[in-house]
Structure 1
Amino acid sequence: MTYETVRETDPAVADALTGERKRQNDTLAMIASENHVSEAVMEAQSSELTNNYAEGYPEGRYYGGCEYADDVESLAIERATELWGAEHVNVQPHSGSQANMAVFTAILEPGDTILSLDLTHGGHLSHGHPANAAGKLYDVEHYEVDEETGRLDYAGLDDLAHSTDPDVIISGFSAYPRTVDWEAIQETADAVDAYHLADIAHITGLVAAGEHPSPVGIVDFVTGSTHKTIRSGRGGIIMCSEEHADDIDSAVFPGIQGGPLMHNVAGKAVGFGEALDPEFEAYAAQVVENGEALGEALKANGLTLVSGGTDTHLVLVDLRPSHPDTTGKDVEAALEETGIVLNANTVPGETRSAFNPSGVRAGTPALTTRGFEAKEMREVGDLIADVIDAPDDSTVIEHVSARVDELTDANPLYE
């Protein structure tokens, strides 16, 4: 993609787009929530459907001219249903956060109580952080991981649920590297007569491929992102039983959104179709294997991983035991100078600000898409550790940068 037409109209934007394409080609994307979609997904997302207003749902639109929008959305729904086995799927949310808010709108009243994982322990802003709309509209209580093990404290969650009597319990995470026991949390939800929402934003692809247990059919509502490990058009998704279908659909539209972004829905449809190919199962298995390899390399270099490792696509490094004076932002900046892009992240028992926390989070989906296997991931882990050990050493930075250049050249992205 050369952006020649954009350049004729707007050279400044064309320069930025060209620069971003080069940046992605020349760097190692290790932000756990990022991935590289196919050229087919990008082409679908830039289609004429961006011109189409399709308020409503297939066969029930408020405007005319939606026959092809109906075709695309119906395909996305059918493919999502096959991927995750849900009775009902809504593919219109603009993001995972929008999907969560739609569920809240469908089942809660202002002042109702949410019980969710604390942000510093791996939760997400949209699960009720005070800065988020959910935190302003609802009363929020948080459960935590066990700080000794870094794993979810299911007994503590159960105790807290019984003492706070929540209206909904949220499972799922933004920075939790272990398998979630959906059944255990559902037992607690049943015991306190609460809804259970499982947010699988990070692991949609791993669940679809059978690399992580699925909450579908166990919990009341499942939300997720469609652009992380599932590698389709950017946006959100909601899955539920037929019992809640009408409430969810009306909560999305007209509850919290107007016209759906049909070009993004087209990208979802294409990406879901790609995920139905048997090759996607091999991809997802490699994502998990690469996560394990990355974690092993980091540990071998003396770094401390929250929970001791990973079962998924991400690792969370607690810098405090080995590098108490180094912050996550220090590491993030030093690594970005070498071409390795990941993010600073809070860790359980965080003692610093969320803006400059004590950990870093790294993920394997994008590098796996690029063709990296366990051998390359171990080397990347070594390179990351080298920079963490000496973030101000120009010789180390130059060496790692040179090796990143070799790795990106050997594994081209968009040619």
Structure 2
Amino acid sequence: KYAEGYPGKRYYGGCEIVDQSEQLAIDRACELFDAEYANVQPHSGAQANMAVFFSCLNPGDTFMGLDLSHGGHLSHGSPVNSSGILYHPVAYHVNEESGTVDYDEMEQLAKQHRPKMLIAGASAYSRDWDYERMRDIADEIGAILMADIAHPAGLIAKGLLNDPIEFCHIVTTTTHKTLRGPRGGMILMGEDFENPWGQKTPKGEIKMMSAIINSAVFPGIQGGPLEHVIASKAVAFGEALTDPYFEYILQVKKNAAIMARAFMDKGYKVISGGTDNHLMLIDLRSKFPDITGKVVENTLVKADITINKNMVPFDSRSPFQTSGLRVGTPAITTRGMKE
């Protein structure tokens, strides 16, 4: 059934049950992440990101995100994505020697380009993030700091990684991956705040960011929410609040650490020298310079081992061939694998 709007403020009648399920998802998300605000309607992580872009930027505005070829995500400024088409992205990078985010370069670029928004987060990065330093950089130039925690959300929720809620104005995530819920997205804020651009309500009051983000999601970029998925999100958040989930996600992290060590012991280069989260990026050039990630991916799938080819920082190959692999442990941990 259609349920355009939000709990208690729908455009259709007969939404009493979906109001209850959506409010349950919101309440559980806020409890899980110690947040004051949650929007559980985004259909995906990319939709959640786009809603934040719509909320904080005007077309042509400058923002900063991690370079796609260094582990960033399409929705953080790729030229083939709406984020790179409608807005002006400036990319920061990882340090070639350490394989970790170069915060000094980030700060220099931020002062040079003065973006309106700075994005923390990646799709192929195995280390924790220094949200506190990024907030200092953002505050110095008057920028919004957004964290996309789609990959490590489960680890963050259970206190196993640095918490972006404490330092970032806005946090986005998917609800699958390490949260083990249905495919979908979500937007969080540790504390609601007045929008810094002075947008006002019809009554002349300064709009809160929660109202601006809600309007960006609906009716800004989406119509009716997927209430069957939102009910599943509520179930997943409930599971993530339990002790068995903590045991699971802790095992995910342990498995990733020992797997990364095993690859390095066999002579493979793991970017950044290991992992803090659930995944690792393996540079094949260190051991098999003539073999591409595509070849390895296609070979392993014949043995029912699913990994994905992935570019590594400073890769000379295309994203359709790649010199690396991205490997993660959430799925095999769900199946019961331990160290």
TMscore range, shorter length: over 0.9
Q: What is the distance in 1 between the residues matched to 2:259 and 2:76?
A: 29
Q: What is the distance in 2 between the residues matched to 1:286 and 1:181?
A: 23
Which residue of 2 is the match for residue 102 of structure 1? 51
Q: Which ranges in structure 2 are unaligned for 5 or more consecutive residues?
A: 194-208
Which residue of 1 is the match for residue 97 of structure 2? 148
For the pair 1:63 / 2:30, whether they are aligned, the reply is no
Per-residue CA deviation, residues 343-396 of structure 1 (Å, 9 max, x unaligned), is 00010001010111110000001111111101xxxxxxxxxxxxxxxxxxxxxx
For the pair 1:328 / 2:293, whether they are aligned, the reply is yes
SS at match of 1:106: helix
Is 1:86–1:217's contact at 8 Å kept on the other side of the alignment?
A: no
Shift of 1:213: 1.2
Q: What is the distance in 1 between the residues matched to 2:239 and 2:286?
A: 42
Greater helix proportion: 1
Q: What is the distance in 2 between the residues matched to 1:214 and 1:64?
A: 39
The runs of at least 4 aligned residues of structure 1 exceeding 4 Å deviation read: none
Per-residue CA deviation, residues 182-232 of structure 1 (Å, 9 max, x unaligned), is 101111111111111100000111111111111003111100000010111
Which residue of 2 is the match for residue 259 of structure 1? 224
SS at match of 1:109: coil
- Tell me the matched-pair count: 323
Which residue of 2 is the match for residue 250 of structure 1? 215
Please, what TM-score do these two structures have when normalized by structure 2? Answer: 0.94
1:374-413 correspondence to structure 2 within 5 Å:
374=339
For the pair 1:81 / 2:30, whether they are aligned, the reply is yes
Which residue of 1 is the match for residue 255 of structure 2? 290
Which residue of 2 is the match for residue 17 of structure 1? none
Q: What is the distance in 1 between the residues matched to 2:229 and 2:99?
A: 36
Q: What is the distance in 2 between the residues matched to 1:232 and 1:321?
A: 36
Q: What is the distance in 1 between the residues matched to 2:80 and 2:321?
A: 17
Q: What is the distance in 2 between the residues matched to 1:175 and 1:141?
A: 18
Q: What is the distance in 2 between the residues matched to 1:346 and 1:233?
A: 27
Structure 2 residue aligned with 1:187, among 136, 141, 149? 136
Q: What is the distance in 2 between the residues matched to 1:157 and 1:257?
A: 33
Q: What is the distance in 1 between the residues matched to 2:94 and 2:85?
A: 24
Q: What is the distance in 2 between the residues matched to 1:217 and 1:312?
A: 19
Which residue of 1 is the match for residue 80 of structure 2? 131
* Higher gyration radius (CA): 1
For the pair 1:347 / 2:312, whether they are aligned, the reply is yes
For the pair 1:220 / 2:169, whether they are aligned, the reply is yes
Alignment-mate amino acid for residue 108 of structure 1: L
Shift of 1:59: 0.3
Per-residue CA deviation, residues 231-278 of structure 1 (Å, 9 max, x unaligned), is 112100001232211011000000000000001101100000111111
Identical aligned residues as a percent = 52
Q: What is the distance in 2 between the residues matched to 1:291 and 1:102?
A: 32
Structure 1 residue aligned with 2:240, among 250, 254, 275? 275
For the pair 1:308 / 2:273, whether they are aligned, the reply is yes
1:36-47 correspondence to structure 2 within 5 Å:
none
Cα RMSD between the aligned structures? 0.7
Shift of 1:114: 1.2
Is 1:233–1:266's contact at 8 Å kept on the other side of the alignment?
A: no
Is 1:226–1:235's contact at 8 Å kept on the other side of the alignment?
A: yes
Structure 1 residue aligned with 2:121, among 151, 157, 172? 172
Q: What is the distance in 2 between the residues matched to 1:160 and 1:371?
A: 44
Q: Which ranges in structure 1 are unaligned for 5 or more consecutive residues?
A: 1-51, 375-415
Q: What is the distance in 2 between the residues matched to 1:266 and 1:203?
A: 22
Q: What is the distance in 1 between the residues matched to 2:179 and 2:216?
A: 24
Please, what TM-score do these two structures have when normalized by structure 1? Answer: 0.77
SS at match of 2:150: coil
Shift of 1:54: 0.6
Q: What is the distance in 2 between the residues matched to 1:368 and 1:114?
A: 36
Q: What is the distance in 1 between the residues matched to 2:329 and 2:296?
A: 18
